[in-house]
Structure 1
Amino acid sequence: EILKGTADSYRRLRNTLRYMLGALGGWDGNRVERDTMPELEQLILHRLAELDGVVRQSYAAFDFQGVFQAIFAFATTDLSAFYFDVRKDALYCDPADSPTRRACLTVMDALFHRLTTWLAPILPFTMEDVWLSRFPSEDESVHLHDFPATPESWLDAELAARSAQVRAVRRVVTGALEVERRAKTIGASLEASPTVYLSPELAQIVTNPDTFATLCITSSLTLTGEAAPDGAFTAEDVPGVAVVFHHAEGEKCQRCWKILPDVGTHRHPGTCARCDAALG
């Protein structure tokens, strides 16, 4: 069982790095400054800066297991299960030069350099393969690089606290969608356009329906401060949030798979406005 667990952890980390290699392939290095990034990217940089401190402290104490556990938890919980899942839409479907996509790739590059160098002493051959897959050269090696310096300006405790509340609201929405998925009402979250009822306090934090729909991976959603109707989905551990499921209205975009009212009204048949613009 111990060997199976170790193999599974290794496989998950390798898949995380493989995803980044695919996303960064062909990137032109056109970076975005942190202060102009969306809050989601700023949050990941905050978490990366927190992790930087943990990794350096653990290595200084020769706590290699602590290094691996911290990086593994970050890679699986913050990246694979959240950030990568949310941002795959922007990576695949936004125009190549869109600010969100460029910000995402800037963060991916920061993640790549840190994860590979941090893990190199523990997984030397795998990290060497990963590094040379991106930077092929007979003279290059991940083991010739120091840990990158991580700016303290990436730390933002206020943003982290606010984002924790947003993710709690998101958890209620995804819980409501999972009920519909199990009931075979929907097959994917993009088929949904839920209404989210928020307390006055949370309504001050979750304010942009388009941004929150992106976080929840729905085609759209509605935010309201009205009282929730009877039967709305709630979660005991997240007070002040209720969700009522609705099907997304419109046609399915053949490119991004979102269901939107404007699909089919643009120059490229079967696309939404964003995808039509991306196709040129």
Structure 2
Amino acid sequence: MDTTTMNSPLVFGAMLLGTRIDQERSFALLDRFVERGGQWVDTANCYTFWLSGAGAGGASEEMLGSWLSAHPGLRDQIRLSTKVGAEPLWPGSWPQQREGLSRRAILQGLETSLQRLGVAEVDMFWLHQEDRSTPMAETVEALGELTSTGKVRRVGASNHPAWRVEQARGLARAGGTDASQEVQYCQPGRSGIMGRARAARGERDDSVRPEGKGCAGPRCSWIGGKRSGPGLRCLRCVRPPHRAHRSEGSRGC
């Protein structure tokens, strides 16, 4: 499969596989997705640590690994992406203590993800949340190492402001590596997400247009497998009517 571009009309978000969605239903949903022409499955190493009994995360990747193991040859038919940077160091330690985006965290995070998924490489490796305690140059250098080994085909930024994405691109150019990046964002509903969703969406568009490289994609449209209101929105990010608005430091996707 050509993975020079990660554009896809539909992406299967695997957040709840292995926790709220058991193996039988997880396999059935994934099988149906592929049967209907779906090609891109997205997860993260931290999914879903915030659920009771889920530990520090990893259940979604493990479920996908079991599914791929049960379907020999299917790996070549799909694009597979995961994320690093938001996994708690131990259950209950988020957000004060999470893995972050240091070189060690990125390399170790990828190896753990590959083991859980049972694959040799991923098509897309996202930086899940920004980490301002780690120099961006260190993060970019680590990503360059991984792409050079072939364990990661493309890299991207999720939940990062546009200026941080541009900073990373500038450092990549200076280091002589590919500066194109994918940009992922949470789909804003009527209430907004993390208090800045609409502004982030505009930043995301601007960060892609100048060079005509990379792509931008919405997330969280079908989280939980349910509709919310007239539009498809993230049921975890958009506040319920009876609750107060999330603060600036809320988790997001």
- Structure whose residues are more often helix by fraction: 1
Choose 1 or 2 for highest CA Rg: 1
TM-score w.r.t. structure 2 length?
0.24
- Structure whose residues are more often strand by fraction: 2
TM-score w.r.t. structure 1 length?
0.22
If asked which structure has higher relative contact order (CA below 8 Å, sep 6+), I would say 1
